[in-house]
Structure 1
């Protein structure tokens, strides 16, 4: 009886150890960017936005990105209430301003593309040439994430008696095929941005790191936070120079997914930093709130887009003499 009891105990202990060994760890999923496909048609030689060729290319790009798991939002749907619809020949400044102004949902990356097409009529055939070019742009930081350009093969032809309607359909079919090639390139570039690193980091490190260079290097190698590098703007208000040093120490020692930071401006008790991270936007806000609590400070954290404002609430200083001692 004693031997069987000991055997059962050892089996249970072994099962418990194996279950603990293979238990799923806490993982940080990558924050997928919100995408919007927008067409550039400011060049008079480019196909305008109100053309059905343009719409076919836009739909094909959005469909391929959506099928690969990215969240793609329709420009008309998210800008219907606040912006004029149906405008053509829009400038780059207008497109970027629209993308930055959308907050429900906030747009992170825009896919800007242009379509060029021409037809050369010969006695025996019609040569059709189509070219698709564009770029990936981080809306908030302005960082270029990549360019792309695809041209139709030289042997793309149309019937010799192809009229205007025939040419438009031929160009549309050709451009739609090119859009698939462009989408493959975009998926690779976006995948490199989103799927970078391992998936084993925590959003706030409670270990006893001191914020030294060795601690930072260790966390950078082992945390392996997954996701694209994002430029976040941190504005600290009502912080003295010493308090900012303390806040920087906490950021370096406690915040995971850290990449880099640099001061942008400092004037009096107002300080602004450009902060590079792979951390989720929501968890970044939570970390800032916890940093205030960790330092024993009262304050509030607000953000819009990728700009965070940390306002410290200062308490009134007591300048009266201590009345505990009288003479």
Structure 2
């Protein structure tokens, strides 16, 4: 009976270890929150209050939502703080709105434009439609891709097609183009989100520190099973001396998983700013920073908004009174 109990205990411990290893070997990818916005600042583009514009927007949103991406409606998430129904908006206004939305925080915006023209001939009406735009990371400003699709030459309308007829023809054509654009967007975003690092062929000397640079070792150690798009995270450290920042960098390189790269952006006295590239989930990034403070024996606070983290170290009063020995 005693042997049976011991065997059962060892078996359960083995299962727990396997579960822990499998959980550590696959980091969950952070899916970006998307918002689709129309660029209609160009007077030749179709305005956002047009039925053609709405058909394109709905087609893009439906296709990306069906592929597993979280797409949020601009009106719904900006209803309380922004004027609605505006058209002919500039790029600066669109990006500012996307960055300002915090519930939920928008990561990537799909900016698109629709152009259309009609040429009346004696025997038919030629309708041309073009759809163009780009993917933009609203936090870093990094372009994730561009797209442009034009209608084929065989789009035709009746010779006596009036304005209502033209709008319906352009809407039908634009909707078909939106499907093609959605396929391209899904592929581009899918490559960003599903991309991962496979280090099975990399040499990883976990006990030796003389094999390659610190950054190379951090990449090899921290990317086991990491999947997801590379995100630019901005780290601000306050009340840190130069030596304390060196210690913090060593902890980040040695302990943080899904590391890609980092570089200093600015340093002023005891304030240091870094651009940190990672595939790590935002929630785990905050936990890691808190644990880094605990690991270094520092008191501090971590707060973040969007992709910007601020780590404030709480300095303790230094004692300048020394006791050289007991005196009468």
- TM-score normalized by the length of structure 2: 0.89
RMSD value over aligned CA atoms?
Answer: 2.8
How much has 1:320 moved relative to structure 2?
A: 1.4
Q: Structure 2: which 5+ residue stretches go unaligned?
A: 200-205
- How does 1:157-236 map onto structure 2 within 5 Å? 157-197=156-196, 212-213=214-215, 215-219=217-221, 223-236=224-237
Distance (whole Å) between structure 2 residues aligned to residue 255 and residue 117 of structure 1: 50
Partner of 1:203: none
Structure 1 position 218, deviation (Å): 2.3
Structure 1 residue 215 displacement after superposition: 2.4
Q: Which one of the candidate residues 8, 22, 25 is aligned to 1:25?
A: 22
Summarize deviations over 1:24-65 as a string: whole Å, max 9, x none: 811322100000000000000000010000000001000000
Aligned residue number for residue 145 of structure 1 = 144
Name the counterpart of 2:202.
none
Segment of structure 1 superposing worse, 267-276 or 314-323: 314-323
Contact 1:29 1:226 (8 Å CA) reproduced: yes
- Deviation of the 1:138 alpha carbon: 0.1
Partner residue in 2 for 1:255: 256
In structure 1, the partner of 2:310 is 309
- Quote the Cα distance in structure 1 between the aligned partners of 2:198 and 2:82: 40
Query: Cα offset for 1:324?
Result: 3.7
Deviation at 1:286, TM superposition (A): 0.4
Does residue 246 of structure 2 align to residue 245 of structure 1? yes
Note the C-alpha offset of 1:73. Answer: 0.2
- Structure 1 gaps of 5+ residues are 1-5, 201-206
Contact 1:234 1:310 in 2 (8 A): yes
Instruction: After superposition, give the CA deviation of every residue in 1:130-157 in whole Å (9 maximum; x if it has no partner).
Output: 0000000000000000000000010110
Distance in 2, Cα, partners of 1:264 & 1:181: 40
- Counterpart position of 2:97: 98
Partner of 1:280: 281
Partner Cα separation in structure 2 for residue 185 and residue 153 of structure 1: 17
SS in 2 for 1:296: coil
**Which residue of structure 1 aligns with residue 153 of structure 2?**
154
After the TM superposition, list the runs of 4 or more consecutive aligned residues in structure 1 that deviate by more than 4 angstroms.
Answer: 11-24, 207-211
SS at match of 1:25: helix
Q: CA deviation at 1:321?
A: 2.7
- Give the Cα–Cα distance (whole angstroms) in 2 for the partners of residues 191 and 324 of structure 1: 69
Instruction: Kindly indicate whether the alpha-carbon contact (under 8 Å) linking 2:219 and 2:260 is maintained by their aligned counterparts in 1.
Output: no
Query: CA-to-partner distance for each residue in 1:101-131, whole Å, 9 max, x for gaps?
Result: 0000000000000000000000000000000
Once the two structures are superposed, residues 173-198 of structure 1 have per-residue CA deviations (whole angstroms, 9 ceiling, x without a partner) of 00000000000000000000001116
User: What is the distance in 1 between the residues matched to 2:316 and 2:301?
Assistant: 14
* Contact 1:47 1:117 (8 Å CA) reproduced: yes
Q: Deviations over 1:68-110 (max 9, x none)?
A: 0000000000000000000000000000000000000000000
Distance 1:44 1:258, change over 3 A: same
What does residue 268 of structure 1 align with?
269
